């Protein structure tokens, strides 16, 4: 493997490129509900100009397009070209005019005040909020809206998955796996600190957003069996890489152990039910962007 290959493998977009097809198959169907609820809360109006950040397979952007109608416009940005390709296919199939473009949440390349609203459905968890939130605030018109979702505390099946993965993971990771361990969700402030509506509201207020309304909503996600739950869990970059690093024998053992761990969460016919708490927030960009800039853009300490 030459240096260029290693470099490309470790580029931020490579995280989700590697799982895009599985994510579309196993995660997108789950996210329909939260994405639709997010767009309702954003209260988009016909004619508005909307940006969906970390659009992935593009679902929230499509829901937004049906709200703003032909006189409005929706752009979805993502780092991952593989995700964007899936989003473009879906938009073409549904005949909705969303523009999907490569873009970085931490450095959005639009003039200040370009959008009436920015939305993000689980799109910011791997970003540095001290970079992504100021970048988002800058591109929203004064008084415009920002609406987002993020995972609340892990559900019990998810916790069982993470605990098992931590117990069984390889001791000697490849450079890519080590990079994912160091940079993926669990190493980010979102995952360690932003788990309650209050913490999310404080984060947004600390970055100059106003009228922040945040809440936690529970969704019951049903999977056909524990293998289906595992397929969903392995559609995220770090978990996929951890599982792929196990020997075939250890993968079999992992599945077997995981199946047993799902016993308390069984529904009818071997199904697994995961009750997941999801954080929502809706906020406004300041009417006078300069006043917020004067207060600073960093989170308040503590």
Per CB under 6 A, residues contacting ligand SAM are 16, 28, 31, 35, 54-57, 59-60, 77-80, 83, 104-106, 121-123, 126-127
CB of 291 to ligand SAM, least distance (A): 27
Least Å from the CB of residue 84 to ligand SAM: 9
Taking Cα atoms as reference points, which of 115, 123, 155 lies closest to residue 139?
A: 115
Question: How many other CB atoms are found less than 10 A from the CB of residue 300?
Answer: 11
Q: Smallest distance from the beta carbon of 27 to ligand SAM, in angstroms?
A: 6
Judged by beta carbon, residue 20 or residue 292, the one nearer ligand SAM is: 20
Nearest-approach distance from CB 158 to ligand SAM, in angstroms: 14
Q: At its nearest, how many Å lie between ligand SAM and the CB of residue 153?
A: 17
Q: Would you say 99 or 287 has its CB closer to ligand SAM?
A: 99
Provide, rounded to whole angstroms, the least separation between the CB of residue 57 and ligand SAM: 6
What span, in angstroms and rounded, lies between the C-alpha atoms of 19 and 25? 10
Q: Which residue in 120, 123, 126 sits closest to 145, CA to CA?
A: 120
Task: Pick the closer one to ligand SAM by CB: 18 or 68.
Answer: 18
Q: Are 23 and 83 in contact (CB under 8 A)?
A: yes
Toward ligand SAM, which CB reaches closer, 105 or 286? 105
Whole-angstrom distance, CA of residue 289 vs CA of residue 302? 25
Nearer to ligand SAM, 117 or 286 (CB): 117
Question: What span, in angstroms and rounded, lies between the C-alpha atoms of 161 and 159?
Answer: 5
CA 209 to the chain's CA centroid? 20
Closer residue to ligand SAM in complex, CB, 73/132:
132
Q: Taking CB positions, which residue lies at the least distance from ligand SAM?
A: 56
Three state DSSP letters for 90-147: HHHHHCCCEEEEECCHHHCCCCCCCEEEEEEECCCCCCCHHHHHHHHHHHEEEEEEEE
Question: What gap in Å lies between CA 49 and CA 95, rounded to an integer?
Answer: 18
151 vs 286 by CB, closer to ligand SAM:
151
Q: Check residue 265 and report its DSSP letter.
A: G
Q: How far apart are CA 259 and CA 129, in angstroms?
A: 36
For residue 73, the cross-strand partners are: 49
Instruction: Identify the CA nearest to 242 among candidates 193, 176, 302, 286.
Output: 176
> Which residue, 80 or 214, has its beta carbon nearer to ligand SAM?
80
Q: What are phi and psi of 95, to 5 degrees?
A: 65, 30
């Amino acid at each position: 493997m030459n240096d260029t290959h290693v470099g490309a493998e470790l580029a931020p977009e490579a995280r989700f490129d590697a799982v895009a097809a599985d994510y579309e198959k196993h995660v997108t169907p789950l996210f329909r509900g939260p994405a639709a609820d997010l767009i309702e809360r954003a209260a988009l109006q016909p004619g508005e100009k909307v940006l969906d950040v970390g659009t992935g397979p593009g679902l929230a952007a499509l829901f937004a397009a049906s709200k703003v109608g032909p006189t409005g416009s929706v752009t979805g940005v993502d780092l991952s070209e593989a995700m964007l390709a899936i989003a473009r296919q879906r938009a073409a199939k549904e005949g909705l005019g969303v523009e999907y473009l490569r873009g970085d949440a931490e450095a959005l390349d639009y003039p200040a005040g370009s959008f009436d609203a920015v939305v993000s459905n689980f799109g910011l968890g791997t970003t540095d909020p001290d970079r992504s939130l100021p970048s988002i605030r800058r591109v929203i018109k004064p008084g415009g809206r920002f609406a987002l979702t993020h995972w609340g505390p892990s559900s019990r099946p998810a916790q069982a998955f993470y605990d098992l993965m931590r117990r069984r993971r390889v001791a000697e990771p490849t450079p890519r796996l080590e990079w994912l361990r160091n940079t993926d969700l669990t190493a980010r402030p979102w995952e360690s600190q932003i788990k309650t509506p209050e913490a999310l509201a404080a984060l947004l207020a600390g970055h100059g957003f106003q009228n922040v309304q945040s809440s936690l909503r529970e969704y019951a996600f049903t999977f056909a069996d524990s293998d289906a739950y595992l397929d969903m869990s392995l559609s995220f970059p770090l978990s996929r890489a951890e599982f792929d690093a196990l020997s075939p024998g250890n993968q079999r053992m992992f599945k077997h152990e995981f199946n047993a761990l799902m016993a308390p969460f069984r529904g009818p016919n071997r199904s697994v039910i995961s009750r997941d708490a999801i954080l929502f927030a809706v906020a406004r960009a300041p009417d006078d962007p300069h006043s917020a800039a004067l207060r600073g853009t960093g989170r308040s300490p503590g």
